[in-house]
Amino acid sequence: MRIAVSGLGVVSALGVGVERNFAALAAEQTGVSPAPSLLETSHRLPVGELQLTNEELHALCGVPFSEHLSRTALLGLLAVREAMKDARLPQGLRVGLVSATSVGGMDLTEHFFRSFVEDDTTGRLRDVKMHDCAASTEVIATYCGIKGYRTTISTACSSSANAILLGMKLLRHHLLDAVVVGGTDALSAFTLNGFQSLMILDSEPSRPFDASRRGLNLGEGAGYVVLQREGELSHEPYCYVAGAANSNDAHHQTASSEEGEGAYRAMLGALQAGGVAPSEVDYINVHGTGTGNNDLSEGRAMCRLFGDEMPLFSSTKGFTGHTLAAAGGIEAVFSVLSIARGVVYANLRFREPIPEHGLCPVAHHRTACEIRTVLSNSFGFGGNCSSVLFTK
Amino acid sequence: MVCYVGKCCTHGEVQSELKSLIPDAGLRRRMSRVVKMAVSTAVESLGGVAEIEQVDAILTATGWGCLADSEKFLHNLITEQEQLLNPTPFIQSTFNTVGGQIALLGHNHGYNMTYVNRGHSFEDALLDGMMRLADGESKRILLGAFDELTPTVERITERMGWWRNHQKGEGAAFMTLTAEREAESVARVVKLDFLREELSEAELRSRYALSEETMIRCCDEKEVPFYPTFAATRFVEAVRCIEKGAKEVLLYNKCMGDNPTVMLLQWLG
């Protein structure tokens, strides 16, 4: 049974909506700004921040303004609503939601904590009610009228890819007729300081897969796709999700193994699940964060799997920043569009290959490509490595 | 879908010493209380670190995640004004820390997933596990859940009025699931349902055609500890009931206002 992609929705630093994002990608215009302008922080570091306040996001979502709705939920709501509208789901389907997030309502919790640490009788309780990951999922489901099975996955930066993987299974087991899968994460002082304390944030715009790379830039956003069983759509699908796999690197809590064992197994597993040979892959939307460790390890895993037949590949994190749990969802939308529109995205700011593996990503946007098969990689803390395979 | 439950263990049942369950001193030192609690329960349930390699998937569930580390990092961030922060609590604060640490401890490259979905996080992980076993993607799965109650959350939830009607609590519970009946199998799961509405005991008995003997256990009674993944501990208790002679136990979980779930466990005869 093939699983088809019937709808797309995305929000990132590039803007709100599929067309806004695609136009910026095609024009090679980054969404990464030199420093946060909305996030409350003392750090002056480049971030992929959506330049819309929470008030503006409420208005776009068409929901009454509340100071107690997390930014993560608002971003997710925008993307899910777009994806569902795009899928044109008929009445009567059992529609579910598998949503991924790693920060949840941390933006509101930070607000609460600032007064709570001074005096534990203070801090507005409504600000912590959205702390848990499931809170954003429930808000999205409620406002989008999703009444079927819903769950929340949180495996750090591979979360959204894992949501896609689960969504496929829910359809194959006929537990749902359509499922919205993907993830959402807002920028937060918590994650910005977390990655800063690990010393893996670049003080300049990131340079994924470049010899001079110095780290990642954080981003925010949400990306979701609607999945349905083949033959049950109301219109032509964008493409199919042929397979997905997850494997653990089992090397270190945050760093990737030198040979990228988990990455290799995840990519191989996705290809095997889809019955596709490595030589058939046309494009890889790599995890490519821009850290010394990831890009070396991921590249080595690619060399091991593809040998001399390296497919075209690029990291789109130079455009969006690393959006953590949302990355796999946003990049799934980009991967689907690569097949549907025959394009390969630029890997921004690439100049020199990493000497250890010598791999060269696509440096500039390409159009009129015949892209039939795309792998999308997402790797996270806890050794969690996932890869999703899209086919025409 | 049917799956078999093998060895299982709650945190309260752990007998072995922490050092033997988590032999890597470096890993152990960096682990927070809840991570130690969960990982040690997982290893005890398997019967030793060497057994981690024998499972082909690790599924974890948590409603709150690694709270103490999240709180510590947030506290430091505010009090130190974002300067010179220790990364360890940040690193350990992710929801999949427990699943990742178990994999790391046992060099397990298998499927590794974490569900964070309030009162039915455990059932979501169980569903994934049952689908994997039914599809032949896994033969032997480690499944478990954990939640901790920190002083901060205790204080916040006290202000929310939780403890007027509920017992405070925390816990961890782990088990192995297999597709086929094995020598160590003690029970089978024959039903996992996500309901759209609440059902009374009489309605449950008629919908699931339960006999008079079937025990019905709720996961959100006043007398039991209140935390998101208590259902996992309740599940192990149900297995213990079956080991002592019960033929069938139905678990009904409506924890934290979510739609109820039903898990039906049976003896193996």
Contact yes or no for A97/A66 (Cβ under 8 A): no
**Nearest beta carbon to residue B113 from set A121, A153, A189:** A153
Task: Taking each helix axis as running N to C, give the angle between helix B97-106 and helix B33-46, from 0 to 180 degrees, rounded to the nearest 10.
Answer: 50
pLDDT single digits (tens) A33-70: 999 999 999 999 999 999 999 999 999 999 998 888 99
Radius of gyration of chain A (CA): 19
Residues of B in Cβ contact (< 8 Å) with A264: none
- Could you say which residues from 291 to 350 on chain A have a Cβ atom under 8 Å away from some Cβ of chain B? none
Among A99, A137, A153, A386, which would you mutate to test the B interface (most chain B Cβ atoms within 10 Å of its Cβ)?
A: A153
B104 and A155: CB-CB below 8 Å? no
Question: Does any CB of chain B come closer than 8 Å to the CB of residue A156?
Answer: yes
A382 and B77: CB-CB below 8 Å? no
Residues of B in Cβ contact (< 8 Å) with A153: 113-116
Token pair for A233: 């759509």
Please, how many CA atoms are within 13 Å of residue B269, restricted to the half-sphere of its CB?
Answer: 1
Q: A380 vs chain B: nearest CA distance in angstroms?
A: 10
Tell me the mean pLDDT in the region A12-16. 98
| Whether residue B2 has pLDDT greater than 80 | yes
Contact yes or no for A387/A160 (Cβ under 8 A): no
pLDDT single digits (tens) A376-390: 999 999 999 999 999
Question: Does any CB of chain A come closer than 8 Å to the CB of residue B182?
Answer: no
pLDDT single digits (tens) B63-111: 999 999 999 999 999 999 999 999 999 999 999 999 999 999 999 999 9
| Whether residue B257 has pLDDT greater than 80 | no
Q: Which residues contact A314 (CB under 8 A, 6 or more apart)?
A: A283, A285, A286, A288, A344, A345, A346, A347, A361, A362
B82 and A194: CB-CB below 8 Å? no
Question: Does any CB of chain B come closer than 8 Å to the CB of residue A1?
Answer: no
3-state secondary structure chain A: CCEEEEEEEEEECCEECHHHHHHHHHCCCCCCECCCCCCCCCCCCCEECCCCCHHHHHHHHCCCCCCCCCHHHHHHHHHHHHHHHHHCCCCCCCEEEEEECCCCCHHHHHHHHHHHCCCCCCCCHHHCCCCCHHHHHHHHHHHHCCCCCEEEECCHHHHHHHHHHHHHHHHHCCCCCEEEEEEEECCCHHHHHHHHHCCCECCCCCCCCCCCCCCECEECEEEEEEEEECCCCCCCCCEEEEEEEEEECCCCCCCCCCCCHHHHHHHHHHHHHHCCCHHHCCEEECCCCCCHHHHHHHHHHHHHHHCCCCCEEECCHHHHCECHHHHHHHHHHHHHHHHHHCCECCCCCCCCCCCCCCCCCCCCCECCCCCCEEEEEEEEHHHEEEEEEEEC
Contact yes or no for A15/A79 (Cβ under 8 A): no
Residues of A in Cβ contact (< 8 Å) with B90: 190, 193-194, 197-198
Question: Does any CB of chain A come closer than 8 Å to the CB of residue B96?
Answer: yes
A117 and B90: CB-CB below 8 Å? no
Q: Which is more confidently placed, A209 or A129?
A: A209
Q: Which residues contact A308 (CB under 8 A, 6 or more apart)?
A: none
- Count Cβ–Cβ pairs < 8 Å, chain A vs chain B: 165
**Average pLDDT value for chain B:** 95
Of the candidates B250, B247, B240, the residue with the CA atom closest to the CA atom of residue B217: B250
Question: Does any CB of chain B come closer than 8 Å to the CB of residue A130?
Answer: no
Q: B266 vs chain A: nearest CA distance in angstroms?
A: 23
Question: Does any CB of chain A come closer than 8 Å to the CB of residue B202?
Answer: no
Give the number of other CB atoms < 10 A from CB of residue B13.
14
| Strand-pair category, A312-314 with B187-194 | unpaired
Question: Does any CB of chain B come closer than 8 Å to the CB of residue A247?
Answer: yes
Q: Which helix (H) or strand (E) holds B263?
A: strand B261-266
B74 and A169: CB-CB below 8 Å? no
Longest Cα pair distance anywhere in chain B, in angstroms? 63
DSSP three-state, residue B135: helix
What is the pLDDT confidence band of residue B219, given thresholds at 50, 70 and 90? Answer: confident
Please, how many CA atoms are within 13 Å of residue A276, restricted to the half-sphere of its CB?
Answer: 28
Query: What pLDDT sits at residue B105?
Result: 96
- Could you say which residues from 258 to 287 on chain A have a Cβ atom under 8 Å away from some Cβ of chain B? 261-262, 265
Query: What pLDDT sits at residue B269?
Result: 87
First to last CA, chain B: 19
Report whether CATH 3.90.1150.10 matches the domain A3-391.
no
Cα distances from A20 to residues A15, A17, A333, in angstroms, run 6, 6, 13
**Nearest beta carbon to residue A194 from set B73, B109, B113:** B73
**Nearest beta carbon to residue A154 from set B74, B87, B96:** B96
Query: What pLDDT sits at residue A330?
Result: 98
Q: Which residues contact A371 (CB under 8 A, 6 or more apart)?
A: A282, A283, A338, A339, A342, A343, A344, A392
Residues of B in Cβ contact (< 8 Å) with A117: 75, 78-79
Q: Burial code of A7-23, b = ≥16 C-beta within 10 A, e = fewer?
A: bbbbbbbbbbbbeebbe
**Nearest beta carbon to residue A155 from set B113, B134, B160:** B113
Question: Does any CB of chain B come closer than 8 Å to the CB of residue A194?
Answer: yes
Separation of alpha carbons A261 and A285, rounded Å = 18
Query: What pLDDT sits at residue A67?
Result: 81
Query: What pLDDT sits at residue B190?
Result: 98
Residues of A in Cβ contact (< 8 Å) with B159: 121, 125
Of the candidate ranges A109-113, A243-247, B16-20, the one whose mean pLDDT is the lowest: A109-113
Q: Residue B100 pairs with which residues in a beta bridge? A: none
Contact yes or no for B36/B229 (Cβ under 8 A): no
First to last CA, chain A: 15
| Whether residue A312 has pLDDT greater than 90 | yes
Tell me the mean pLDDT in the region A357-381. 98
Tell me the mean pLDDT in the region A87-91. 95
Of the candidates B224, B226, B228, B227, the residue with the CA atom closest to the CA atom of residue B237: B224
**Nearest beta carbon to residue A43 from set B82, B111, B159:** B82
Nearest CA in chain A to B71: A113
Q: For B10, list phi and psi in degrees, rounded to 5.
A: -100, 165
A197 and B99: CB-CB below 8 Å? no
Separation of alpha carbons A164 and B34, rounded Å = 29
Q: Which helix (H) or strand (E) holds B265?
A: strand B261-266
For a pLDDT cut of 70, what percent of chain A falls above it?
A: 100
Residue identified by tokens 């069983």 is A229
| Whether residue A317 has pLDDT greater than 90 | yes
Give the number of other CB atoms < 10 A from CB of residue B29.
9
Query: What pLDDT sits at residue B220?
Result: 79
Tell me the mean pLDDT in the region A355-371. 98
What is the pLDDT confidence band of residue B159, given thresholds at 50, 70 and 90? Answer: very high
Residues of A in Cβ contact (< 8 Å) with B106: 250
| Whether residue B223 has pLDDT greater than 90 | no
Contact yes or no for B150/B71 (Cβ under 8 A): yes
A155 and B159: CB-CB below 8 Å? no
Nearest CA in chain A to B108: A250
